[in-house]
Amino acid sequence: MSDSPGFPDSAARDRDEAESASAFAHPAVAPDRTAAYGDHPDQVIDFYAPRDGRTAAPLVVLLHGGAWRAPYDRAHVSPLADFLARRGFAVASVEYRRGGEGEPTPGGDPVAGRWPETLDDVAAALDAVPALAARELPEADVRRIVVTGHSAGGHLALWAAARHVLPEGSPWHLPAPPPLRGVVALAPIADFASAVELGVCGGAVTQLLGGGGESGDLDDRTAQADPAALLPTGIATAIVHGEDDIVVPRAVSEAYVDAAAKSGEMVGLTLLGDVGHFPLIDPAADACAIVAEEITQLAW
């Protein structure tokens, strides 16, 4: 899916490729309903009803990863959405605008993210979810919302829960904490400084921020987009990360947890041994069941 930081050995690369192949081998699962939260084709949310016929089910808002790059959309996490729906959750899987226009990066990847559209969309989608879910998915209990996301989507999940920490002049600022039960971030790009240092996803963080801009602009954008700069949030937060992740190394999540602790906030960190980046979203992997359990602990 993306460039790996550093120079992992061949066994690590082989393992990552096998885990990626397994996660992407599942056919896409069609949603029960889809609703728009804006006029752009990417401003849509797929809704999955709980498969057990449950009513008043907790609602999981799912934000997909893919380094904020256009080729990777919500289809690749639709098996995860279905997996959670079979666990008794209502699910809202959010699409948002990603990067991909213009010249590719030196590594051949599309540019990561669109500033400010990527964050515009996530903010608008989260604001729209309660009303849209009430209309499209009456099985959902919009008083019990947990946000989850994988990789770049993990960044977006943490960011969405921290909008009330943004300065009042920010277009995404909320005057009060969002009404969430919590956040479960899966191998998130949670700390921008460590992600940049490690070259995560081929420099995707710098691209998301509009890397060709003035340093002052980048500093301001980092302050508004880096979850590690938006602490404490006061919202229950758990991170799940594979110890053998070579796409987003565990050090990125550990840096976020350390930043949270310095701010006076406790963030749970579950490290999974012998697990890389992709089993967290692979319904065939044991790690996916652990993800569901982490969500359950916050939602019920």
Q: Is residue 247 part of a domain?
A: yes
Q: Residue 53 belongs to what domain range?
A: 10-299
CATH of the domain at 124: 3.40.50.1820
pLDDT per position in the chain (300 positions), as tens? Answer: 443 445 578 999 999 999 999 999 999 999 999 999 999 999 999 999 999 988 999 999 999 999 999 999 999 999 999 999 999 999 999 999 999 766 677 777 889 999 999 999 999 999 999 999 999 999 999 999 999 999 999 999 999 999 999 999 999 999 999 999 999 999 999 999 999 999 999 999 999 998 655 556 899 999 999 999 999 999 999 999 999 999 999 999 999 999 999 999 999 999 999 999 999 999 999 999 999 999 999 998
Question: 25 lies in a domain?
Answer: yes
| Contact (Cβ atoms closer than 8 angstroms) between residue 60 and residue 281 | no
Q: What is the CA radius of gyration of the chain?
A: 18
- The pLDDT score that the predictor gives to residue 2 is 40
Q: CA of 293: how far to CAs of 118, 155, 240, 286, 290, in Å?
A: 29, 20, 11, 11, 5
- Tell me whether residue 86 is in a domain: yes
Task: Please report whether residue 5 resides in a domain.
Answer: no
In a domain, 1, yes or no: no
Could you give the number of structural domains in the chain?
1
Cβ 64 vs Cβ 72: under 8 Å = yes
Residue 172 lies in a domain: yes
Is there a domain that residue 2 lies in? no
Using a CB cutoff of 8 Å and minimum separation of 24, what contacts does 176-180 make? 177/233, 177/234, 177/235, 178/126, 178/235, 179/130, 179/143, 179/145, 180/145, 180/146, 180/147, 180/235
Two tokens at 232? 């404490």
Instruction: Read off the tokens for 296.
Output: 């359950």
The predicted pLDDT at position 217 comes to: 85
- Whether 228 is in a domain gets the answer yes
Whole-number Å distance between alpha carbons of 255 and 194: 7
pLDDT at 5: 46
Six-digit token pair at 207?
A: 């691209």
pLDDT for position 142: 97
pLDDT of residue 212: 56
Q: Kindly state the tokens that stand for 275.
A: 């697990």
Q: Which helix (H) or strand (E) holds 86?
A: helix 78-86
